[in-house]
A and B are shown apart, each in its own frame.
Chain A
């Protein structure tokens, strides 16, 4: 296999410099999938022929001077809960009606096609974007490229694993409680959950209607910003998208961090008995790096943290159960075991519980807005451990590792959050830094993440398993 660019940004530059072609990038992506996909379980459906045809078209268009932007000619993957006309949409489930997404594109997929992206296939997800893999069901088991005995995180498992292993340069994930940021963190790549309402979700199988965010996973923060620019913006088919101008998310890349105030939250995120010993030093080093780059760092406490996380859970399972109740009545055993365990609890909360959760979400938003009057961004670890093993998940259940994951708060309040790699555990598993900002300030997050990544190289580390594929070429 050839030595193709590692990041979307570099690949886009190489395409325009003529040092590579979309067909070459796509052939590389396909060749890597040929070697690694069976082991890593990245794809539910591969679309090799479609991808190569799209790549040929992209090369021809670029040669003719038609430039559709930074995704033009770039191999990407799409989580298999978004409809795409060229292939089936399964949500990794036996339940989803095949007719639902048949020969249709989700709004985001429409936009990716218009941007000239080369969609290489539909990617593994936890069933309906929640829970864990079920060995009794006929879907690939996703594995972590840093150690296949470990979970890649979920629910955008295939996207995280695929970007880390170089099966594509970027991909679509969705995030209701952390499903972009968790696999990005566990797989050692970057992930950007945009502000709620920034990206339309029409054509994406819902999990929690008021919590679902669609966004990119890629090597770098800059890649994520470029990707978000192609999929953001209002759409009449989505009741939740906001009619708001889409900025250039790369506009502040390269600007100094002087004047940027970053609140650091430790109280709810570090010091737990399950924490990996490397997590706290890695986080402190990341914070120090941001300070060295010019940011002002202050200690903060995120308001109503525990209550808001509970509100997220009540909201998610209640909204999910409304969607799934009839199928759960009729086809309980066809659902994955973990899906039943999570979504089934939605039957146990009352309507008043749901509404109270929405009142608490508003309380949190109000208090958080006051905090953001004093700081521009908030930094936390994304998780305080590396990815758990499958053996641990099967023995202890998924709730234990989820207790060391610090993503659901931001789904509940709707603010954007970017995660970037910040080091490794002693066992060689990635650790991750989370940065959150005011609503619709993704541009600041991309600036911060890019500045951090210009000073570090964690985001460019390649899993040995994937590096071995390249060196064997």
Chain B
């Protein structure tokens, strides 16, 4: 796994519409690089190969809105 390039980080921040200062951009990059190897490792977990995500879509969910 290669670390994301600063240009790729800039592109993602730009696509999200965020405009951090240069110092904040460095901080975001550092945070991302700290966790990105761990995120890549999630894909390498053998037990996850055929596991369904912990997401449940309900055709008939609770629809009462709070404050309604």
Contact = CB atoms under 8 A, between A and B. Distances in A.
Interface of A: 104, 106-107, 202-203, 210, 236-239, 304, 306-307, 310-311, 313-314, 321, 325, 328-329, 332, 337, 340-342, 344-345, 347-349, 353, 355-363, 365-367, 399
Contacts of A239: 58, 61-62
A340 B23 CA distance: 12
Contact of B47 (A310, A357, A358, A363): A363
19 contacts: A107-B66, A236-B62, A306-B41, A307-B42, A310-B38, A310-B39, A313-B35, A325-B17, A337-B24, A347-B18, A348-B32, A355-B55, A356-B39, A360-B45, A360-B48, A360-B51, A362-B51, A363-B47, A365-B54
B64 interface: yes
B30 to A, nearest CB: 9
A29 to B, nearest CB: 29
A210 B20 CA distance: 27
A238 B66 contact: yes
A329 B17 CA distance: 6
B7 interface: no
Counting chain B CB atoms within 10 Å of each CB, the highest count among A306, A311, A399 belongs to: A311
Contacts of B65: 237
**Lowest 3 CB-CB distances: which A-B pairs, in order?**
A358-B53, A347-B16, A310-B38
B59 interface: no
A238 to B, nearest CB: 7
| Residue among A328, A348, A356, A365 with most chain B CB within 10 A | A348
Nearest to A356: B42
A327 to B, nearest CB: 11
Contacts of B38: 306-307, 310, 313
B48 A340 contact: no
A307 B46 CA distance: 12
A67 B15 CA distance: 57
B34 to A, nearest CB: 7
B45 A203 contact: no
Nearest to A303: B47
Interface string B6-30: 0001001101111110001001100
A357 B42 contact: yes
B62 A210 contact: no
Contacts of B17: 325, 328-329
A222 B53 CA distance: 36
Given A348-B12, A355-B53, A104 B42 contact: no
B53 to A, nearest CB: 3
Contacts of B42: 307, 310-311, 314, 353, 356-357, 359-360
B1 interface: no
Given A239-B61, A349-B39, A332 B20 contact: yes
A359 B44 CA distance: 12
Nearest to B68: A237
A359 B39 CA distance: 12
Nearest to A107: B66
Contacts of B27: 341
B12 A237 contact: no
